[in-house]
Amino acid sequence: MNQVSREQSLELMAKLEMNTDWSQLDSEVIQRIINDPTGSGRGFTRFLANGGRVMIMSTDGIVIPKGGKVHIISVPVNESRPWKDAVSAAGPNTNCNWDIWKVGDQYPPVIGATQGLQQLILVNFGKYIQSGDVLAWGKGQCLRPASSRSVFAIGEHYPSLNRDLAMDYMAVVSFVLCSFGGRQRVPRVWWDESGRESLLDWFDDRWSESYWFAFVRE
């Protein structure tokens, strides 16, 4: 991906400012953006990554599990990104000896893929649940598991997702499986007050209410 020059960034910001209809914006909204420059900057980056267009997100057709939640987000995803780069960007606190680094050959990059904004459906069941039940729910909603790099992109671009969702700690799981140590494993990103980690979990685990599962539409 080509680096944006300073001249290009200045030209872009000038044209956006010139063509913004400021009369449609509330002063309190502007103040909230000013008060949260980091979060607003991440949102603005996602807006630009989508070609300067707002992505309309809806739960139309998705049945929220009883006692659970569905949260839909958009995130820039690059399926051609090297495995180690994706892992480290998602989880800067990932231990260098963990298994997640050792399965990149099972998640090869998509040659020629470019970064694009992707809509991801995150579901939380609000209770302990088995992997098979999660996948059955997704199939019933015409959803398929999101890729590992999609989940890593969430960790990179939503570093405070746990606070956004009012959770002290949480994880997002991709059910695109690999095999390691003689068992089926799944990648996940973990958020807590100490930071973010990328890990491998066991597919046959029983998942608690702290876990969210990432899907995309078929």
Q: Are 144 and 215 in contact (CB under 8 A)?
A: yes
pLDDT interval class at 46 (50, 70, 90): low
Given a cut of 60, whether residue 55 has pLDDT beyond it is no
Give yes or no: residues 120 and 152 share one domain.
yes
Give yes or no: residues 86 and 17 share one domain.
no
Residue 152 lies in a domain: yes
Mean pLDDT of 113-133: 96
Give the integer Cα–Cα distance in Å for 216 and 146.
5
Q: How many domains does the chain have?
A: 2
- Tens of pLDDT, residues 145-169: 999 999 999 999 999 999 999 999 9
Give the integer Cα–Cα distance in Å for 160 and 32.
17
Share of the chain above pLDDT 70, in %: 88
Give yes or no: residues 45 and 73 share one domain.
no
Using CB atoms within 10 Å of the CB of residue 55, give its burial: 0 to 12 exposed, 13 to 18 middle, 19+ buried. middle
Lowest mean pLDDT among 3-12, 70-79, 200-209: 3-12
CA angle in degrees (0–180, nearest 5) for 187-191-194: 130
Nearest to 189 by CA among 154, 137, 147, 145: 154
Helix (H) or strand (E) holding 61: none
Q: Are 192 and 162 in contact (CB under 8 A)?
A: yes
Give yes or no: residues 81 and 43 share one domain.
no
Bridge partner residues of 208 (DSSP):
none
- Boundaries of domain holding 89: 69-217
